[in-house]
Structure formats: structure tokens, C-alpha cells
Structure 1
Amino acid sequence: MLKKESFIELSARQRAKALLDKGTYRELLGPFDDIESPWLEKQGIVPQADDGMVVAKGTIKGVPTVVVAIEGSFQGGSMGEVSGAKMSAALDLAALDCTEGRYIQAVLCLETGGVRLQEANLGLAAIADIHASIMNLRRYAPVIGIVAGTVGCFGGMSIAAGLCSYLIVTREARLGLNGPQVIEQEAGIREYDSKNKPFIWQMTGGEVRAECGFADKFVPDDAETVRKAVIECSEKGVPKEFRTEKYEYFLEKLEKFDTSKQVDENSAKELFVRGGSHD
């Protein structure tokens, strides 16, 4: 039996290499190109030479693919002007290739807390560009998102995850518009205790998100299994209907929810029952 390799424990660059066919990995705008954030050093923060964003081209089971992986260990995977531009530009170039007859799909490794607070509006604008770029490319080829752990996917980038053609999650993944600490800060500990780990995973963990239809594949933390899930999504091609086009379904469900009661895992599952999933 082959020894399993944790996908979660891999760096962004290692994740991209693990997904692409062996020998096909080619990085674009890597650390030796010295394209980094011009804003962090001014605020006493050591920048990273690739701004925490890895862009690589290659193939997955022979299919031309661009993998964009966020490094969650750098500034919590936060999105700034440079990192956001790298992701949106990669998606835009892939869309351009598709329109010119050169098919290429995209895989996004989303380990991010959302906008980089040190870059404020620049980060917000970058995330908006990413949203537009995903919607543009997904018309021509699948945009496959992966949320594995340990950072999770929050803020504006959780919207990016929702825009993906397909979304793959692990048990260790977390997905939500607002992070636990933000909810506790704004609504109080009675509403959301950010130190209650079981409660957090019951609400935003990968398993419950998949069961509610906000993710399409729920896989164990194994690099080869994650890659196989990507291949399965790739083979499905462009979905006939995107999750974001099912807004009437979700709005109807939300209107029925009693906000006077504390939501829990079971009530969330009963409410959605995999309505948004492609499976």
C-alpha cells in the first residue's frame, strides 16, 4: 500500500507540484522575479518575494492546467494588491487562451483569511478582480477550488470559492464569509465562541459544508486523493448550472430560517440538504 502524503502539510508550491503531472510544473512570476508587495515593508512587515501566491502551469492527466495556490503561512494567506493581481491575471490569461482555441482549466488552492488588512482597499479591489476573472473563465473551462486547511477560506475569498465550478474540501477545511473571531467580536461570545473548536467545525467545517451542498467533494487529507478529486471534477467539464445560479433556492431556504434560534449542525443540514452541490 502506498504511504499517504498529507496535502494540508504541503506548502503552496508543493501543493501545486502534487496536483500537476510529474515533469510538467512550470512556475510563473516566482520568487526570483522579485515581484512583491510594496506596502508591507513600510509598515514594518517583512515581505515575501512571491507575495504568498504561487502560479504554475502544467497538465493534470494531460489536460492543460494553471494552478494558483495561496501560501497560508504568509500573512494568513491574506490577499493584497500583488498576490491578487497574480491570481486574476492567471485566470484572465487562461480565459484568453480558451477563446483562442487553447483550452486550459484552473485549480485554485484557497487557504486565506480574505483581504490583507495592511493593504485595505487595494486588497478588496484585487479580490473583486478575482471574482470577475473566475466568472469569465468558468464559461469556457472548469475552475476547481480546493480548501484543505489549516487556515480555511474566509472573507471575500469565500465568495471566490462559491464562484468556482467545483469545490473540494477536507474534514480539516473551514469555509465561511466571516471568521469565528470576527463573528465573536461583532456579535458576542454567546452568538459565536471562537474558542469552541467543535462548534466551529460543526458550523463551517468541510464535512458539514459538503453535506449542505456548498462543496462538491469531501475527501480525506491525502495528496493523491485530492488530485483524483480534481481529475474527476475536470472530467465533468463546465457545469450545466453553477451553484451561484441557484440563488432562488438558497434565498427560499434562508427566508424559512428562524434567526431567533441558535443555528447548529443539524439545523443547517436540514435547511439545505445538498441543494447547491453538483453531485
Structure 2
Amino acid sequence: MTTVATAHPAPILRDSFIELPARERARSLLDAGTFRELLGPFDKIESPWLPLQGVVCQADDGCVIARGTIDGEPAVVAAIESAFQGGSIGEVSGSKIAAALEMALRDCERGKIVRPVVLFETGGVRLQEANLGLAVIAEIQAAIVALRRHVPVVGVIAGMVGCFGGMSLAAALCSYLVVTKQGRLGMNGPEVIEQEAGIEELDASDRRRVWQLIGGEQRAATALADRLVDDDADAVSAAVRAAFAQGVPAAHRSEQVDTFLDRLARIDPASVTPETMREVYHPHVQNDARKEQA
């Protein structure tokens, strides 16, 4: 009896983007060998406020700023480290992002285009230094709006922390948003919604429901994100490069006020489900799906 060996396809090996720390995330997006960190750990630019409240500082305050190139063009990447204080934005970390974007803006105004990328992994403002954090988030938002007149500003929301609070508004101002299924985007986090509106409004422990409502796949399906990619460093890098190749969009999301007001008007607050939200944003897609099922 002859045994015939069955060939099995080789498994596809991927390097998780989510599992990378902020510094390596930034490195993975830049051309090989071009990574150069600004205000890194050895510069010891730490929060002066956290020790006063018994919190141990991190030497880079949970934010990595890297210069280099993307497809040979000058670029700057601001990566938030979720492992430190949940990626919260304080005076120092926020100032680093705002200053990096403002430096890129000055270069762009002088005719030297710099490609800006922000890796969002944050619950929003750091409560221990709330007013200072809120002020610097406003500076980040202003820098994004000014920059996007010259060059696309690309945001990435990949990890399990997601992007909430004032930084969700900063993400919404980006020219393009790249998301994974694991990422989440919302003004308020599930726990805050449950606390303020009650568990009847949203059960924060229902992870499946939470991701159905505000997860990356849903945000892409409702036009609040532009590219949905797998948790793969190469896939995220390719999506970022493709976004820059598209150039500055004719109209950013924040400029499409009438379009979004029309969509809001078609939402029934008594029946907000992942399906009804997709129908509001892409009614023809839902109708086509119903026809196929029939």
C-alpha cells in the first residue's frame, strides 16, 4: 500500500503590530535604518506632576517621537505607549506630539513636505494633570488642522486600548484613519457610558457588543475610518504608505458637516444597533445584502 503525502500550505507568518511597544511601532513604519528618536528616554523629559501624586514617571512620558523617511520622503511618527498610564495624555507627552506636528508644519510651510503619522493608543487626557492635558490636546488638534492643508495627516488606531476622549477628536481630524478590528474609537469609553447612562444603555463587560458598536470594523463600515487592516506590522505600514499616496483629500471628514448632520438626523436613538448604523451610512449596501438573502 502506497501512502501519498498531502501537501499543506505553509502558514502565513505575521508580525503583530499590536504587540509591539510604541518605539517599535514607530520604527516599523519608517524606512529601514532611518529611525531617529527625538526627546528619548535619555533626555529624561518627565512629568513634574505625577511624582506629587505618588505615580512613578516614565523617562519619555509614554510618548515616542521619531523622525525618518517613508518611501524616501521625510516623515515624523508620534507613537503613544499604552503600557504607561493607559496611554493617557499629560503635559509632557502631549507637548511632544504637538511640538513634533508644529515642527512638521513649519517645514511644510517652507516647502519641505514632512509626512506626519500619529499612532493613537489612548483613553484621552491624564486625570492627574487634566487641565494641562486638555490644553495640549487642543494644540495637537490645531496642528493637525493646519498640517493637513499641506500633506495628509495619517492616524492609526490598532490596539486594545483604543482611542477615546479629546484624542478621539484629534483622530477624527486626521486626513486618513487606519484601524484594525481590535482597535476602538469613541468619544467616551464603554465604562464611562455605563457609569453615566446606566447598564441599560451599555454593558461595558459585554466585549462583543462593545466591539460591534465602536470597534475598528464598525468604524470603517460607517465611514469614520478609511482603511481596515489585519493586525500585521507590514499591513499597517502598507496602509499608511497607501494613504500618503492618495494625497490630501478633497474634503476632510470634519469639513463634511452637512453630510454628517444628515446622517445624524436619520438615526433613531431608540434603535441604535451596529446594523442600523451601517444602514444610515451605507444604505445601498444593506439593501443589496437583503436582496441577496431573499
Q: How would you bin the TM-score normalised by the shorter chain?
A: over 0.9
Cα distance 1:152–1:59, how it changes in 2: closer, same or farther (>3 A)?
Answer: same
> Counterpart of 2:169 in 1: which secondary structure?
helix
Q: Residue 210 of structure 1 corresponds to which residue in structure 2?
A: 220
Q: Helix, strand or coil: the match of 1:136?
A: helix
SS at match of 2:256: helix
TM-superposed deviation, 1:14: 0.4
Structure-1 residue corresponding to 2:36? 26
Give TM-score, length-normalised by structure 2: 0.91
Normalising by structure 1, we get a TM-score of: 0.96
- Deviations along 1:107-166, one digit per CA (max 9) or x if unpaired, are 110000000000011111011111001001111111100000111000000001100010
> Are residues 1:265 and 2:274 paired?
yes
Q: Residue 181 of structure 1: which of 166, 172, 191 is its match? A: 191
Query: By how many angstroms is 1:183 displaced?
Result: 0.2
Q: Which consecutive aligned stretches of 4+ in structure 1 deviate over 6 angstroms post-superposition?
A: none
Residue 95 of structure 1: aligned partner: 105
1:149-164 equivalences in 2 (<5 Å): 149-164=159-174
**Structure of greater Rg:** 2
**1:42-90 CA deviation, whole Å, 9 max, x = no partner?**
0000011000010000011111110000001100000000111000110
Question: What CA distance in whole angstroms lies between the structure 2 residues aligned with 1:91 and 1:262?
Answer: 40
Contact 1:71 1:77 in 2 (8 A): yes
The verdict on how the C-alpha distance between 1:218 and 1:274 changes in structure 2, with shifts beyond 3 A counting, is: farther
What is the alpha-carbon distance in structure 1 between the residues aligned to residue 282 and residue 158 of structure 2?
Answer: 22
The answer for unaligned runs of 5 or more in structure 1 is none
Distance apart, 1:239 and its partner CA: 1.1
Q: Tell me the secondary structure at the aligned position of residue 195 of structure 1.
A: coil
> Contact 1:72 / 1:111 at 8 angstroms: preserved in 2?
yes
1:45 aligns with 2:84: no
Q: Is the 8 A contact 2:70 2:115 kept in 1?
A: no
Aligned mates of 2:46, 2:279 — CA distance in 1: 45
Cα deviation for residue 274 of structure 1 reads 9.2
2:253 alignment partner in structure 1: 243
Query: What does residue 13 of structure 1 align with?
Result: 23
Tell whether the 8 Å contact from 2:267 to 2:277 is kept in structure 1 after alignment.
no
Aligned CA RMSD, in angstroms, stands at: 1.3
Q: Distance in 2 between matches of 1:254 and 1:9?
A: 36
Number of residue pairs the alignment of both structures matches: 274
Alpha-carbon distance in structure 2 between the residues aligned to 1:211 and 1:22: 33
